[in-house]
Amino acid sequence: MSTETPGASTDAPIRVLLAKPTHDCHDRGVRLVARRFRDAGFEVIFTNFLLTEEIVNTAIEEDVDVIGVSVSAGGHMPIFEDLLSGLHSNGLDDVMILGGGVIPHDDERTLKAMGVAAIFGPGTSAEDARNLIVQKFGGTVEA
């Protein structure tokens, strides 16, 4: 069954870059999200990164619509700070930024004020994230 989303404008699949810091062993969640996004018809690029500029470079090369960064071992604030400024200086302000992992509520508030669209912490589902993306970019979701 597939659901037509109002405002769907293009048949090109939504392109999502999912990234995890190399040091962070907790990748069960983000890899599951990657599989669920592929099931939903998204084009998913999954990568580990050491430096935040690697995410920016991949985002440019792959022309992505969405970047999701999962951090479950702390150190998320500098990553998002560098990512947002890196994207901005490359003129990629339209890219939707999502966060996931173990991110305390007060950091979540700061990140949202900085321009992160949403944080998907423990207990949220891949489907919530998928729906948010579809809401913004339209398109068809295999359900």
Partner 1 sequence: MFDEPTLTSSQKQAAIRDEQYERMLNRFGNSAPPSAHAPQTHSGLPIKTAYFPHDVEGLDFEQIGAPGQYPFTRGNLAAQYQLMNWANQPVIGYGLPEDTRTRMDMLSARGMTGYFGQKFYNLVYDLVSHEGIDPDHSSARGRIGQCGMAVYSKADMARLFDGMDLTKMNVVHITYYQVIPALAQYIALAEEQGLTPDQLRGNSMNWYHQSAYVGMSAFPPASAQKLAVELINYCAQKMPRWNTTNLFGYGVEEAGGTAIQEIGLMLAYGIDLMRAVEASGLKADEALPRFGFQIAQANDFFEEICKIRALRRIWATAMYERFGAEDPRSMHVRIHTHTSGACLTAQQPLVNLIRTTLHAFGAALSGVQAMEVSAYDEALSIPTEESATLALRVQQVIQEESNITAVSDPLAGSYYVEALTDQIAAAALELVDRVEAEGGYVAAQQKGWIRREVEASADRWRDMVNSGERRVVGLNCYQDDEGEVAEPNIFKVDPNVEALAVERIEELRTSRDAARFDKAMGAFREVAEDFAKKECKDLGSCELMETAIEAARAEASTGEMMGVLKDALGWRAPHEY
Chain positions contacting partner 1, by CB under 8 A = 20-28, 31-32, 35, 46-48, 50-52, 73-79, 102, 104-106, 121-123, 125-127
Q: How many CB atoms lie within 10 A of CB 22?
A: 12
Question: Least distance in Å: CB of 125 to partner 1?
Answer: 6
Gap between the Cα atoms of 14 and 76, Å rounded? 25
Question: Least distance in Å: CB of 143 to partner 1?
Answer: 13
- DSSP letter, residue 102: S
> Residue 88: which residues within 8 A CB-CB, separation 6 or more?
none
Q: Which is nearer to partner 1, 34 or 137 (CB)?
A: 34
Q: Which is nearer to partner 1, 6 or 123 (CB)?
A: 123
- Tell me which residue of 134, 108, 128 sits closest to 8, measured CA to CA: 134
Q: How many CB atoms lie within 10 A of CB 125?
A: 12
Question: Least distance in Å: CB of 14 to partner 1?
Answer: 21
Question: Least distance in Å: CB of 1 to partner 1?
Answer: 17
Q: Which is nearer to partner 1, 12 or 73 (CB)?
A: 73
